[in-house]
Amino acid sequence: MAFDTTTDEVLDGVDLRGTVALVTGASTGLGLETARALASAGAMVTLAVRTAERAAAAEATIRERVPAAALECGLLDLTSLASVREFAGWFSSRHDRMGIMINNAGVMATPFERTDDGFELQFGTNHLGHFLLTNLLTPLLIEGAPARVVNLSSGGHRSSDIIWDDPNYERREYDKFEAYGQSKTANILFSVELDRRLRDSGVRSYAVHPGMIATELGRYMTRDDYRALSERAKSRPGGGFPQRKSIESGAATSVWAATDDELRTQGGVYCEDCTVSEQVAPWALDADSAQRLWTMSEMLVGQSFPVV
> pLDDT tens, 22-39?
999 999 999 999 999 999
The three state secondary structure string of the chain is CCCCCCHHHHCCCCCCCCCEEEEECCCCHHHHHHHHHHHHCCCEEEEEECCHHHHHHHHHHHHHHCCCCEEEEEECCCCCHHHHHHHHHHHHHHCCCCCEEEECCCCCCCCCCECCCCCEHHHHHHHHHHHHHHHHCHHHHHHCCCEEEEEECCHHHHHCCCCCCCCCCCCCCCCHHHHHHHHHHHHHHHHHHHHHHHHHHCEEEEEECCCEECCHHHCCCCHHHHHHHHHHHHCCCCCCCCCEECHHHHCHHHHHHHHCHHHCCCCCEEEECCEECCCCCHHHHCHHHHHHHHHHHHHHHCCCCCCC
Is 214's pLDDT higher than 90? no
> pLDDT tens, 98-156?
999 999 999 999 999 999 999 999 999 999 999 999 999 999 999 999 999 999 999 99
Is 238's pLDDT higher than 50? no
User: Which among 125, 74, 87, 81 has a CA at the least distance from the CA of 103?
Assistant: 125
Query: Which residues touch 220 (CB under 8 Å, ≥6 apart)?
Result: 107, 108, 109, 110, 111, 176
Q: How many CB atoms sit inside 10 A of residue 261's CB?
A: 7
Query: Which residues touch 61 (CB under 8 Å, ≥6 apart)?
Result: 32, 36
CA distance 137 to 92: 7
CA distance 102 to 262: 19
CA distance 128 to 162: 13
Domain 7-301 carries which CATH code?
Answer: 3.40.50.720
Q: Where are the domains of the chain?
A: 7-301
226 is catalytic: no
CA distance 181 to 127: 11
Portion of the chain with pLDDT greater than 90, in percent: 87
Give the pLDDT of residue 308: 73
Query: Which residues touch 155 (CB under 8 Å, ≥6 apart)?
Result: 209, 242, 272, 279
> pLDDT tens, 246-302?
999 999 999 999 999 999 999 999 999 999 999 999 999 999 999 999 999 999 999
Query: Of 180, 206, 226, 270, which residue is the catalytic one?
Result: 180
> pLDDT tens, 66-85?
999 999 999 999 999 999 99
Q: Report the b/e string of 237-247 with b at 16+ CB within 10 A.
A: eeeeeeeebeb
